[in-house]
Amino acid sequence: MMVVRLKTYWSLVRSALVGDTKDFTSGEIGKAAFLIAFPAMLEFSLEALFVLVDLLYVSSLGDGAITLVGVTNSVLILTQSIAVGLGIAVTAMVSRRVGSRKPRSAGLAGVQAINLGLIGGILTILVITFFASNILRFVGCPEEHLQVGMPYVRLMFIGAILVIIRILMNGILRGVGNTPMAMRVLLLANLINAVLSGVLIFGIGPFPRLGLIGAAWGTVLGNLAAVVYQSYYLGNVESRIEIGRKQWKWFPPMISMIIRLAFAGMVQFIVPALSRFLMISVVALLGAQTLTGYIIANRLILFTVLPAWGIATAAGVLTGQNLGAGKPERAVSSVWKTGVFNCCFLGSIALVIWRFSASMASWFSSDAEVVSSASHYLNYMALAYFFFGFTMVISRSLNAAGAVKTVTLLNVMMFFGIQLPLAYLLAIYAGWGEQGIFISILLSEMIMALVCVGVFRKGKWKSINV
C-alpha cells in the first residue's frame, strides 16, 4: 500500500514538474492546486535562494556594500511596478481566455502587454538612470558609498528592462497554467546569475576581480538568457496560447483593457514599493547600523516568504480559469484551501525564525548593533507570517478575478494610511526608535489580512468581466 502511495505521489510531482497540459477547471481542487503550486513554489524558492546567495556575496564586501545594494534594489522594485502591473493584467486576461478555450485571444493579450511594457519600461529606466545619484541621496545613502558604487547602480538600472520583459513573459506562462516553465526560466536566470556574480566579484580563474559591479553583470546576463529562452518557448512550443504575426499588431480595444487593469496593478505595486523606499529614509534617521540591520532582515524575510507566493499563484490561476469556465464556487473553494495551507506553511517558517533569528543575522555582519537590529525586526515579522498566508492568496485571487482596483485601495490603506504614518509617529516623534518601526509594520500587516478576508467573503469579485 505504501509503495502504491509513493508511486502516486511521485507521479503527481513528475506531472507538476513536466507541465503537461491540464484542465484546472475540473477534477479534485487539491490536486489542481498542487500541480500549479509545486513548480511555482520551486520557482520562488530559487528566487529566494539567489536573494540569500547574493546577500552572502555582497556581505563579503562590507556593510557599506549591503546598504548600497539594499537601497538600489528598493529603487529597482519601483521600476518593476510597470511589469508587475502589466503582469497582473496579463495573467488575469490570459487565464480567463485559456479557461474559455480562446488561444488566439490569449496570445493577443500577452503580446500587447509586452509591447506596453517595453515602451513604459524604457522611458522609466531612462529617467531613473539620469537621476540615480539624487534618488539614492534622498533616502540617506552615504556619500562615500555612492562614489564607489555608482557604476553598479547605473548598470543595474539599465538592465532592469530585461527584468520587466522576464516578469511579463512569466505572467503569460502563469496565466496559461504553465508554472513549470516559469520555474525553469527562473532556474536558468538564477544559475547564471549566481555563478557569474561569484566569478566576477571575486575574480575566479581567468576573470578579473570586479567587486560590486561584477554582481550587476551577473544579474544582467542571467536575465538576458532567461528572456531569450522565454521568447523561444512562447513562440515555438507552448500550445495553449497562439502567438503569430496578427498578435503583434496593435489592437486598441485590447490595449485599452490591459491599461485599465494594469494601471490599478501598477499603483497596487507602487504603493508598497514606494512605502518601503520611504521607510528606508525613516530608518536611516536612526543610524547606519540600524539601516544595515533593517536591510539584512528584509532580505532574509524575502528569502523565507517567496516560496509562499507560489501557493498564492496557484490560487490566482485557479480563480481566473474557473471564473472563465463559469464555476465561481469552485474558485472560492480553491482560495480557502490554498489559504489554509499557506498559513500552515508560513507558520512553520515563523517558528524557525523565532528560534534562530540572531544566528541568521550574524551570517551577514559581525557588528553587534547590526545583528541586534536585524534579529529584533525578524522576531516581530515572524508573528506577521501567520497573517501573510491569507493576504497573499486572497490578493492574488482578487487580481486574477479582475478586482485589481480593490486590492490597490487596500494597499493604499495599509501602507500610506497606517504603516508609514504610524512608523514615523512611533519611531521619530514618540522616540521609540526601531521598535516603533517594527510595531507599525506588524500592525498594518495584521489589519490588511483581516480586511482582505472580509472583502473576499462579500463575493463581488465573482461578477467582474475581464
Cell representation of residue 322: 474557473
Q: pLDDT digit string (tens) for 207-223?
A: 888 888 888 898 899 99
Residue 350 has what pLDDT? 92
Which one is predicted more confidently, 46 or 308?
308
Residue 366: count other Cβ atoms within 10 Å of its Cβ: 9
Predicted confidence (pLDDT) at residue 325 exceeds the cutoff of 60:
yes
Q: Cα separation of 406 and 190, whole Å?
A: 33
Q: Write out the DSSP string of 195-250.
A: HHHHHHHHT-TTS---THHHHHHHHHHHHHHHHHHHHHHHHHT-SSS---HHHHS-
Say if 363 falls within a structural domain: yes
Residue 19 within a domain: no
Looking at per-residue confidence, does 17 or 386 come out higher?
386
107 within 8 A of 247, measured Cβ to Cβ: yes
Q: Is 14 part of any domain?
A: no
Measured CA to CA, the distance from residue 190 to residue 181 in angstroms comes to 14
Read off the pLDDT band of 6 (50, 70, 90): very low
Summarize the confidence of residues 397-401 as an average pLDDT: 84
Considering the domain boundaries, does residue 104 fall inside one? yes
Return d(Cα 125, Cα 159) in angstroms, integer.
9
Please check whether residue 297 lies inside any domain of the structure.
yes
Residue range of the domain that includes 51: 36-459
The answer to the question of residue 10 being in a domain is no
The pLDDT value recorded for residue 400 is 80
φ, ψ of residue 364 in degrees (nearest 5): -110, -10
Q: How far is Cα 225 from Cα 166, in angstroms, rounded to an integer?
A: 10
User: Of 457, 174, 184, 459, which is closest to residue 317 (Cα–Cα)?
Assistant: 174
Q: Which residue has the higher pLDDT, 257 or 296?
A: 296
Q: What is the pLDDT of residues 279-292, one digit of tens each?
A: 888 888 888 888 88
Measuring CA to CA, how many Å separate 9 from each of 1, 5, 18, 163, 463?
12, 6, 14, 35, 36
In a domain, 2, yes or no: no
**Residue 31 within a domain:** no
pLDDT in tens, 137-185: 776 676 776 777 788 888 888 888 888 888 888 888 877 777 678 778 8
The pair phi, psi for residue 333, each rounded to 5°, is -60, -40
112 or 31: which carries more pLDDT confidence?
112
Domain count of the fold of the chain: 1
55-79 pLDDT per residue, tens: 778 877 777 778 777 778 878 877 7
Answer whether 0.75 is exceeded by the pTM.
no
C-alpha distance from residue 142 to each of 62, 139, 180, 304, 437 (Å): 14, 9, 42, 29, 21
